[in-house]
């Protein structure tokens, strides 16, 4: 029989990491921008009408109606968010389609929707005094100025 432990240990582990990540991002003043707005340590975050990318891909008609350039723009924005999270001291460590959310009422046909990253259950706070890794090589984050989606020559 393998090693067993109470399920509450796993929940406590996830909660601790999630709360620590959200607190760091709130202190860095990027909650509500890169991730949903964080309010208090019980993981109360803003409610926004969103859909995760993995759920969006379940409806072939829906995602094929979205121009390729906008789909690439969503991916580029999600990758930028992951980079910015790292810059602000949080390594996400679970970058999957289910953890990328987009506002589905933002008008996909004309502009890039709001993109955010969720689920910090396995995230690492890299600027913690308890983290032994040195991340001093990250000096300055330079955000992308043009938020418009890339042009698709085949569309």
pTM (predicted TM-score): 0.69
Instruction: Name the more confident of 106 and 108.
Output: 108
Q: Give the integer Cα–Cα distance in Å for 81 and 116.
A: 7
Site of tokens 């990318």 = 53
User: Is residue 79 within 8 Å of 143, Cβ to Cβ?
Assistant: no
* Domain CATH code at residue 112: 1.10.510.10
Would you say residue 23 lies in a domain? yes
pLDDT tens for each residue of 116-127: 999 888 888 887
For residue 144, give both structure tokens: 């992308």
Lowest mean pLDDT among 11-15, 28-32, 73-77, 107-111: 107-111
Instruction: Name the more confident of 133 and 49.
Output: 49
Would you say residue 98 lies in a domain? yes
Q: What is the pLDDT of residue 11?
A: 74
Would you say residue 131 lies in a domain? no
Would you say residue 110 lies in a domain? yes
Would you say residue 24 lies in a domain? yes
Would you say residue 136 lies in a domain? no
Computed over every residue of the chain, the mean pLDDT equals 78
Q: Give the integer Cα–Cα distance in Å for 54 and 52.
A: 5
Whole domain around residue 49: which residue ranges? Answer: 7-125
Q: What is the pLDDT of residue 9?
A: 73
User: Is residue 34 within 8 Å of 40, Cβ to Cβ?
Assistant: no
Q: Give the integer Cα–Cα distance in Å for 69 and 12.
A: 41
pLDDT tens for each residue of 27-79: 899 888 888 888 766 655 667 678 889 998 898 888 888 888 888 999 999 99
pLDDT at 21 over 60: yes
Number of domains forming the structure of the chain: 1
Three-state secondary structure string covering 91-147: ECCCCCHHHEEEECCCCCCCCCCCEEECCCCCCEECCCCCCCCCCCCCCCCCCCCCC
pLDDT at 19 over 70: yes
Site of tokens 């300055």 = 140
Q: What is the pLDDT of residue 137?
A: 46
> Mean pLDDT across the stretch 7-35?
83
Instruction: Name the more confident of 151 and 40.
Output: 40
């Amino acid at each position: 029989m393998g090693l067993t432990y109470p399920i509450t240990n796993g929940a406590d582990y996830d909660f601790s990491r999630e709360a620590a990540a959200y607190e760091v991002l709130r202190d860095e003043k990027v909650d509500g921008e890169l991730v949903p707005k964080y309010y208090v340590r019980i993981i109360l975050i803003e409610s926004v009408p969103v859909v995760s990318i993995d759920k969006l891909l379940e409806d072939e008609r829906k995602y094929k109606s979205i121009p390729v350039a906008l789909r690439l723009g969503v991916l580029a924005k999600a990758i930028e968010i992951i980079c910015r999270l790292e810059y602000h001291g949080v390594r996400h460590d679970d970058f999957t389609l289910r953890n990328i959310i987009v506002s589905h009422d933002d008008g996909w046909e004309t502009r890039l929707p709001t993109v955010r990253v969720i689920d910090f259950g396995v995230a690492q706070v890299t600027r913690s005094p308890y983290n032994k890794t040195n991340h001093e090589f990250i000096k300055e984050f330079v955000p992308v100025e043009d938020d418009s989606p890339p042009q698709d020559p085949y569309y």
